[in-house]
Structure 1
């Protein structure tokens, strides 16, 4: 995603862990926090910086629209499908060990991305980055949960989340500046010293911990989830180029659906499933996860395509496009705590209905500026309203998910919700890419229109007709996102817990 944000429930994505046998000193706990913040910063910076640099990457590597989508999709695919098994692996094999493996894998994949001579190798590196993130993200939270006693965990998680907001704030500016003034490859090179420092501090300060009750890992479920999502996403992304009737596209769509159905079948029979289906018997849990799917679909898709519109249609630099994301990070960083207190007072239902609807209004406002608009008459109002809506929704969403299941299942419930958010962004980029292509091709109405779309997104000089067609296509995408965000707010109003309601 272009804007860095954690999944809606990452702060809760850790099983309850007993405090260490010997209490850790305050100094050592501070170093543990430093290690987890630095490790998590790898994903925070990469996720936010890469979005505004994608147009430069596409231009430099000569990538078409589908390949540009896969630079993001490859990462989201492996992260979304494997984040649950990554957390379970830490519980079983050692949280510090799995966290370090994730950091090392992310660093090695970053080196591969930084050296990638072709977009295909960059996509492969991004997929491996997603595997590393699926290990280190839940690993960081599990390390904090095992190192801090229960009465200190809230403050520790808050510190971790606040640091993530700061990195998310800096990411778009750093990515935009590197794309303009230096080389987008430095976005990946930054990860190498950060990973090395994280590993040194982790080895010196973080004690090993594991869950003695942890059992087998759901490898069958993980394999079915990855292959099913990959087949479906590939087919949706390639369809505008190959055509919907192409045998490969038909095979991909049917095969992806069959594999995902097999995933659900396997989860219903697995002794230790990565996604226990019984949790969905709760109407609150099911409703809030549907809300998450729609809301993060809208957010992920909009933030992927927005930098292309700002840079290609409005003529902004990548640095300015990154600055356009600042209201989102600033408002969420400053007011998330107040939004949580508001939900505590008035109930999650109000926040989970008003917040997503406001986010939808903000997204709709992003469709209004005409080509060539500046910052104030351009994205400022939309980004501000979007940020207010998301700030109202994210904290109560976490609380609603964790409150909808028995106490012993809060960790896996929050992990499922986080995975849903990642998969939503993955599907958004693929499906909204279909809409973008269809509207652009219809607007140009000339042979080679799909190839022209690639040239437009890759930085070719724009003829007025091509610019207007791309802006119309972007508007169709962003208004689709706005409608889905509003729909998620309606679902929140119908299913989220009200004030004083115990689920």
Structure 2
């Protein structure tokens, strides 16, 4: 097999794409507020500018997943990276707030394409015995991006002015677009019948996986900002020391994600996701016991590892839940995954801030842990209404019919 058709190259390109996407997202943290102020934006407007990213991410995820199921993965991935490059370059030359909002909205759409179609490509190329390991590699790369993105943005800003961070990242994204044009995915030559979005949405195992993802994302996005506030207000740590604690957790994730991805291949993705939620609930109250910087670093790394137990296997579980029905519309299923993750990211910070003001950090973590355990137990107990077989999608009629004789499929719920 040539390099253009290598599965390992596919993983490397998806890792590069998600890495670039996270760099693009995080490089704006130290730069966008200043750029917005130069164009007359108030703090509220700057907040809306950051939030605009999530609007198109939610709107585009499932439709673009469905498109990639029909036309293949290569075109959407190349187009997504090109859109990322152009929108990021637009930030460098924007002269008014509407242009900033337009660029941010396009970035959100490009993010949806990169993550949804990228993981769908990996699900196309790798079976259940290898998906966890491969998704772990991709997630390890994103952890590095989260760790260095804001620093790169700040350094480039100070070195070359407000345009340089955006132009550098735009150039990197353009390289990614060219790489996907060059790549020839083996999955593109396999006929893939289009499946109605409704057929995937009504698969019980897919719905369960989406529920688990919402629980993980809500808890993660709740804990991160209030843990930062706790370290500053209750322990008196400065921003640089708080950043060090989070950098240590991100560094740990570069090891955690590949490790737990391998474990999910061995023990099953579904079991690992539930184990991750239980572990996260058990370690969460420990964060409230941090008393200085070293303890905050240690407990933060521990909690980050607990989250990783569930996050990486959840990506493999979504593919497993979809393929267990005989459906191979991985684009739609990862679109659902992306929407579930976005719902959690949108709800977690506001809920966490509301509870933090009224309960404080230690009490909040003690109160949320049993809530997370209860949600996990409920999702574990929910059973599919089907017996030993699933209904198979009738893609021509857009409806579902019982699988025929000899087509019984193992359940993933």
Q: By the TM > 0.5 criterion, same fold?
A: yes
1:107 aligned partner: 85
Unaligned 5+ residue runs, structure 2? Answer: 383-410
> Which residue of 2 is the match for residue 326 of structure 1?
247
Q: Which residue of 1 aligns with 2:297?
A: 380
Greater CA drift, 86-95 or 306-315: 306-315
Q: Which residue of 1 aligns with 2:339?
A: 419
Equivalents in 2 of 1:149, 1:297: separation in Å? Answer: 29
Contact 2:136 2:312 in 1 (8 A): no
Give runs of aligned pairs for residues 353-502 of structure 1, distance below 5 A. Answer: 353-358=277-282, 360-361=284-285, 364=288, 375-376=293-294, 379-404=296-321, 406-409=324-327, 411=330, 412-429=332-349, 435=354, 473=357, 483-484=367-368, 486-496=370-380
Measured after TM superposition, the shift of residue 129 of structure 1 is 0.4
Structure 1 stretches of 5 or more lacking a match? 1-22, 216-270, 437-471
Q: Cα offset for 1:189?
A: 2.6
| Deviation for aligned residue 1:72 | 2.9
Q: Secondary structure at the residue paired with 1:190?
A: helix
The answer on whether the counterparts of 1:107 and 1:195 sit within 8 Å (CA) in structure 2 is yes
Tell me the distance in 1 between the aligned counterparts of 2:317 and 2:6: 33
Q: Is the 8 A contact 2:135 2:261 kept in 1?
A: no
Aligned to 2:405: none
After TM superposition, the structure 1 = structure 2 runs for residues 63-82 of structure 1, keeping only pairs within 5 Å, are 63-82=41-60
**TM-aligned CA distance change 1:274 to 1:169, over 3 Å:** farther
Cα RMSD between the aligned structures? 4.4
In the alignment, which residue of structure 2 is the partner of 1:189? 167
Equivalent in the alignment of 1:129: 107
TM-score of the two chains, using structure 1 as the length reference: 0.60
CA shift in 2, pair 1:416/1:150, >3 Å = closer
CA distance in 1, matches of 2:263, 2:125: 30
Q: 2:72 aligns with which of 69, 72, 94?
A: 94
Distance in 1 between residues matched to 2:8 and 2:272, nearest whole Å: 33
Find the counterpart in structure 2 of residue 39 from structure 1: 17
Cα 1:363/1:354, change in 2 over 3 Å = same
Question: How do 1:227-242 residues align onto structure 2 when only pairs under 5 Å count?
Answer: none
Q: Count residues in correspondence.
A: 378
Greater CA drift, 353-362 or 90-99: 353-362
Correspondence 1:162 to 2:133: no
Q: Given the alignment of the two structures, is residue 201 of structure 1 paired with residue 179 of structure 2, yes or no?
A: yes
Q: Secondary structure at the match of 2:2?
A: coil
Q: How far, CA to CA, are the matches of 2:10 and 2:273 in structure 1?
A: 36
1:290 maps onto 2:217 in alignment: no
Q: CA deviation at 1:203?
A: 2.7
